[in-house]
Structure 1
């Protein structure tokens, strides 16, 4: 498999467009509802050219190939900043692969186009012609409404070379180049294929492709060199010129502090760039001199803000030692630099903006007078090019009042607000990768990562859709199938599902937990009243010790499927920690009681106030299965040199708080040690104790590394809790907590920086100290029962949590230590399924396998609706309207097609056994192995390696390890295939030539169907 893109001939590109429209009604994957139509009244004149909307792709991966440019134009881009060229090009340009990681803030190790300069030029000309063709044929605009901007680097000698000089001159006028003439000829030969694009339209295409240029210089380029190049471009090349400036102009201190304040403190800067790059004062002086030259030449000089920021590679995000950062973390730097420069020139400065521009700020940027606005990172995320349509529509109403000078007051306010803008601070995306554990399958890969990430595999898209329809009763039935505690989990679940939601890569997760709570509030009581206990279908009985979330979930799953279950609980109330420890300001008694009533109605017998601490032998006289759900209540200890006896245990404190907070006396200043959810609960509870004036959480790392969920940390801060970072407790005397300051060292296996002691001590006033450092499993109890314990102090179990004693299981916190409520319920589901399987009893708990989507009637309507939601950003809504944000990933995923800038992953409609399904096909010749599809694929895998691949030559197939095929002769049906056994075989798929050899040569029905679909309905891909 080559990491080099193969330019497609112009004739093939035209045929591709015609073929794809007929087969799928789309063009390069852009669906018809995302095509943006310019409005004549909104056009503006910019640098002497007409623009429909002054936005488009920044010089980068989305503007390097003709199909990139076309996809961008169709969705609303009208200012196309062509990818930078330099003398070092093609195979001579070393680019480590993978080279893009846009998981959150984007990183890349690309420099400029990987094509030869001559090839890049041809791509830009092909894109120019195709945009004219589609503009007229689709009625996008009556007149040309777009412009190109070329981009060159990196030094004057290279720019003056024959290669780059020809590139510049031919973009100024391309009429005498071979590719220009070739494009004219192809369109002439195909005029009969078009309805509105005719010979007159063809002849009206101007050969003057570019009248402006962006200078992109390397970090460390001397100021004098930048000025010499810009002068040359103005005086010798007669081009309107933008100089790309670097965020290093702001200085290392400002950048470092900004990152820290916005939650990006983990980003490691390279100080030498700040020392060697252009300095701010030198840049201002240079711009003033260049403005004089531009005025003399009757041209314009402006700045392009900004270049990417070089940072260190520390976690193998990409290969190498240094990568270049862009995206939302770059926004506060870029907008600050824009503010500073605009103020220097009293608003009289052309600013071409690209640094974290996206849906949430594009209108604000435009209102300041900034023009044009380009973007890269947002296009590399799910939704891809189709995000541009929404951006364009957002600017429509602002076009009439377009200013060509900067409103410094607006810009100053925008820059100030950037530092706290929730769309640009780190926020919820601290959860990291959305990937689930499943391996990326060759076929049928569409999954709902929310469901896969849920420990009890709830059918989330299904119940969200039902809630959106207002069908709460059916929604609740779907929820109750997998979740026996919907009110509890609808209130305080840590929502693993939301950390896997594709919407995280748009703006924020779908509010899945809230949707569940809405259904529970509306329908649980009705559902519970209608429950009739299942008949007993087995002579076997199960005993569960502990009525916490794990124990009751196990009981519910077993009883529902026909097994008799009895639960023994030493306390007088169910749900353990939830009922006795978690404060009422997080969950009320009503929600807990509602879930327990459901458990009782299922027929589960719960015995309270019973301490079953006897031998297993006695229990097994009456029960066939024993499930231990006894929790983890052994106190975790904080290591102090002095004062350990004065420390309050967080769990005990919270129990006392629930019983009666008025009886507690903590003094006026409370410190809580720890960084998990229990620490947050303890701190918030302490702040509600009479007499307490100040509560601090003392944590040895920084807030960013706290294991507590972000929302619980935020709630604590809202309650006035102080977070004191990088401190390790040493001594406590009842009045003062002495702590040692901590420095963060290298990252450990968890990705968190190791806390390193500094020897420096600080005193914190503290009248009470609460330790929330994690409870432990009581191994003595388990060992007394005969259960083996591992070296980690946990019970030794098999994959289904059965212990060394046959038919005895452990679930919940007793299994792996303190965990989540839904995780504990997941243990119960696993155990219940294992027991039911042993007894050969019918089980309704199996996760539903992905099924091929049948496209007929309502299903087709639903699929189209889901496609319509792609690329549309919007924040959470109130009530059932939130369902509109669900992307239905189990039915339409295709994220790998969205995020590929080169359109190298395509969805192909395949017919098999009367059904129709969409399968992902990877096109080898269009891929440069950037790796971005692998970053966003919800599975553990990389589509560019792991999906069926279409090769354009036998040599390419032989050079690759991918399962895939090369169509040697489409007419005769001769295909060379690398099958799933990695054998390369020749087959004949034509009706006349097929002799049943496919099965003998280990060609699966799925691969055969895909090959036939490509040949018969998608031949434009060949």
Structure 2
């Protein structure tokens, strides 16, 4: 690279996060990129490793390290360092169709695999990726890529989340005519209604959708396949169909008191909040509110963090998050070596905001719920918890064991369940040959993307299971290639 000692000369400097007590007053994006001078310095920290781990997504110890979309990270880091931003954008676009999304909402497994972290700290890859695409839009380098020729073939894509958009983009570039069906009133799926707007502003999503429309892709909203149109009807009208329907069935927590009023799945809470924000800036009142309530969020992942950020902005009275895992160490343990994703203690944006408001990390670690408590009218007023320890068997199976005499009752008038997802909704393909595996994902031939129904493919969380946005984008790309080959060979 241009600077052989960049990782020595400059310390890691990430995005600037707005003050938590200021940013919780609005729904604007919480972070701001550093200056161009600092970004170029950060890019110079890339070491041009002989065998880089950053650009190749791998599953190590059950977690992703490296980039699933195979971004050419060392190459565009070098271009940014040299001030060649437009060339960096062109190189980034070869692998990632939507870097403005991953540059904001991806947990950056590429940085977990960065070799510079062995010397001090990883390169700020995610920030640089976002800076490249943001500058490309500012400079007008991002233009519609309209196919010169059309094949006469038609493909229907069900779902407009990251997998659906990625698949649609690639198939459209092949020259096929693409129609994307979305059951919600807005395009974007998870990008629109699953990720709060302080992480991805809706203008960022709409800007990309507008480009895809100019490239020839048609989006049909408020159309639910399986109700207004059957999957068989769709299959008869198109040369192929791709299911990008996500893993949207939430995992439930069936404990005493589950039917009490005031207990919601996290995605229902987030969806209602975002829709009301976009529809009326909350004037319609059509959302689940945490205002003035004691809130308990059950779950330890990104969705739980998003619930925390949202409840804080709604001015909740108090907030606690149950995380079933014990508190992570400050530094890596020996059983979590590089380049595995680091399992260490950190404050995500939501916990940072809660700590700023209430004075402490909202998480209660190694904690699980035992019972939901209600008043005489069936309204939830609290939750009984207990501490747990995680025992790992020889076969790798994790067993949670409750610890006696650690029960505690927490006040709660709003409880949000963010304990994961158990697969796609199956009604859409109940009258087809499509089936699900034992892990509730859609079964495919030869481990690829073609389902058991001729001409119907699947990509994203519906095939892989609930995962990262960057995996969904890569799944959409690979499914598009397989779908294209099927259409043309046929």
TM-score, normalized by the shorter chain, greater than 0.5:
yes
1:638 corresponds in structure 2 to: 253
Q: Given the two structures, how large is their TM-score scaled by the length of structure 1?
A: 0.37
Equivalent residues, number:
399
More helix by share: 1
The aligned runs of 1:400-549 (5 Å cut-off) are 446-453=50-57, 454-524=67-137, 526=139, 530-549=143-162
**In the alignment, is the contact (CA less than 8 A) between 1:528 and 1:597 conserved in 2?**
no
CA distance in 2, matches of 1:554, 1:497: 22
The structure-2 alpha-carbon separation of the partners of 1:516 and 1:645, relative to structure 1 and needing over 3 Å to count, comes to same
2:413 corresponds in structure 1 to: 767
**In the alignment, is the contact (CA less than 8 A) between 2:144 and 2:212 conserved in 1?**
no
Q: Aligned with 1:703: secondary structure?
A: coil
The structure-2 alpha-carbon separation of the partners of 1:677 and 1:601, relative to structure 1 and needing over 3 Å to count, comes to same
1:235 corresponds in structure 2 to: none
**In the alignment, is the contact (CA less than 8 A) between 2:225 and 2:428 conserved in 1?**
no
CA distance in 1, matches of 2:239, 2:352: 50
User: Which range moved further: 512-521 or 653-662?
Assistant: 653-662
The structure-2 alpha-carbon separation of the partners of 1:742 and 1:644, relative to structure 1 and needing over 3 Å to count, comes to farther
Give yes or no for the alignment of 1:704 onto 2:338. no
CA distance in 1, matches of 2:235, 2:390: 52
**In the alignment, is the contact (CA less than 8 A) between 2:230 and 2:428 conserved in 1?**
no
The structure-2 alpha-carbon separation of the partners of 1:708 and 1:788, relative to structure 1 and needing over 3 Å to count, comes to farther
1:379 corresponds in structure 2 to: none
1:648 corresponds in structure 2 to: 264
1:816 corresponds in structure 2 to: 464
**Larger Rg belongs to:** 1
Q: Aligned with 2:400: secondary structure?
A: strand
Report deviation, 1:788: 1.4
CA distance in 2, matches of 1:510, 1:774: 30
The structure-2 alpha-carbon separation of the partners of 1:748 and 1:681, relative to structure 1 and needing over 3 Å to count, comes to farther
CA distance in 2, matches of 1:631, 1:712: 28
Report deviation, 1:755: 2.5
Report deviation, 1:735: 2.0
Report deviation, 1:551: 0.4
Q: Given the two structures, how large is their TM-score scaled by the length of structure 2?
A: 0.75
Cα deviation, 1:621-658, whole Å, max 9, x if unaligned, reads 22111001112222321121224433211111111222
Q: Aligned with 1:728: secondary structure?
A: strand
Report deviation, 1:673: 0.4
Query: Which of 786, 803, 827 is equivalent to 2:475?
Result: 827
Give yes or no for the alignment of 1:801 onto 2:449. yes
The structure-2 alpha-carbon separation of the partners of 1:539 and 1:748, relative to structure 1 and needing over 3 Å to count, comes to farther
Question: 1 or 2 for the larger relative contact order (CA 8 Å, sep ≥6)?
Answer: 2
CA distance in 2, matches of 1:607, 1:468: 42
**In the alignment, is the contact (CA less than 8 A) between 1:499 and 1:509 conserved in 2?**
yes
The structure-2 alpha-carbon separation of the partners of 1:678 and 1:604, relative to structure 1 and needing over 3 Å to count, comes to same
2:294 corresponds in structure 1 to: 669
Query: Which of 749, 752, 758 is equivalent to 2:403?
Result: 758
Give yes or no for the alignment of 1:586 onto 2:199. yes
1:616 corresponds in structure 2 to: 231
The structure-2 alpha-carbon separation of the partners of 1:674 and 1:469, relative to structure 1 and needing over 3 Å to count, comes to same
Report deviation, 1:826: 0.9
Give yes or no for the alignment of 1:598 onto 2:211. yes
**In the alignment, is the contact (CA less than 8 A) between 1:782 and 1:795 conserved in 2?**
no
**In the alignment, is the contact (CA less than 8 A) between 1:683 and 1:716 conserved in 2?**
yes
CA distance in 2, matches of 1:607, 1:703: 45
Report deviation, 1:667: 3.9
CA distance in 1, matches of 2:396, 2:116: 25
CA distance in 2, matches of 1:710, 1:657: 31
**In the alignment, is the contact (CA less than 8 A) between 1:748 and 1:754 conserved in 2?**
no
The aligned runs of 1:274-353 (5 Å cut-off) are none
**In the alignment, is the contact (CA less than 8 A) between 2:437 and 2:443 conserved in 1?**
yes
Report deviation, 1:839: 5.0
Cα deviation, 1:445-468, whole Å, max 9, x if unaligned, reads 954321112222122222222222
Report deviation, 1:547: 1.0
CA distance in 2, matches of 1:598, 1:703: 44
CA distance in 2, matches of 1:735, 1:587: 33
Q: Aligned with 1:648: secondary structure?
A: strand
Cα deviation, 1:546-594, whole Å, max 9, x if unaligned, reads 1111101001011112222221112222211221131122221222122
Cα deviation, 1:761-818, whole Å, max 9, x if unaligned, reads 2212222211101133212333333311222222111332110112211112222332
Report deviation, 1:507: 1.8
2:308 corresponds in structure 1 to: 683
The structure-2 alpha-carbon separation of the partners of 1:736 and 1:612, relative to structure 1 and needing over 3 Å to count, comes to closer
**In the alignment, is the contact (CA less than 8 A) between 1:542 and 1:623 conserved in 2?**
yes
1:555 corresponds in structure 2 to: 168
1:742 corresponds in structure 2 to: 388
Report deviation, 1:754: 3.8
CA distance in 2, matches of 1:714, 1:617: 44
The structure-2 alpha-carbon separation of the partners of 1:656 and 1:709, relative to structure 1 and needing over 3 Å to count, comes to farther
The aligned runs of 1:363-382 (5 Å cut-off) are none
Cα deviation, 1:589-608, whole Å, max 9, x if unaligned, reads 22212222332233222222
Q: Aligned with 2:69: secondary structure?
A: coil
1:417 corresponds in structure 2 to: none
Structure 1, gaps ≥5 residues long = 1-32, 35-382, 391-444, 842-1022
